Structure 1
């Protein structure tokens, strides 16, 4: 049985992610008894992860601010502020931010994907090493470890 969990913004882990974006871990496996992960991305125009699929979890994205192109399998869709998309496991997908900045809420069930972000990202409470970047090899290693399959480059 899960217990109620509360974390104020200053208590939420923030990680440097792709293209200098920030991923905040709002709820993780430990907080939800493995049931779901909730995260929030703050990113800039052009941010785009590799085209990928999840083998373990379904994903929901809600675009709180900004605009993006979303690809799911063979469909291309525009997502505007307030829009939401469901991305089932084992379906290839990706996105590209088209606005100057964007704020995205991500919910994945079951939990566990936060491990990938922690594996490859950099905790913002630690000093930034010179030249820090998430290399394609590190991203591929993190993806593989946490059940993600990279199927192509960003779109």
Structure 2
């Protein structure tokens, strides 16, 4: 999945986050697809929110790519898609404050996402969650399983 630079090849990534309680135990998952290969990744945190897990899924997936790549990220989170494509430039201009002059929530993750994104050429796409999209369902299962595994660990 690391030799997309300089080619027409695109890494397709489907991401999702889940939270058992919000805030609560959360998980994230991503499915990366490149030239017929597939890699699934996931993780979890004890005290988090769904939005943080949605962001973490995209960050971790992009961080996994070892070279600059052409990437399409599919997310069912309007928060992530709109945040990165519409809102983040204004937040940066405003010193990580909203239009209402309040601190941007999850600014640490937004900054990490920007750092990961700038290494690549990324297109952001929204997909309706829980609507039968094969890779969104896999990402959702990865995120939910990671959260449950952490919650139920001895």
Greater strand proportion: 1
Greater helix proportion: 2
TM (norm. structure 1) is 0.28
Highest relative contact order (Cα 8 Å, sep 6+), 1 or 2?
2
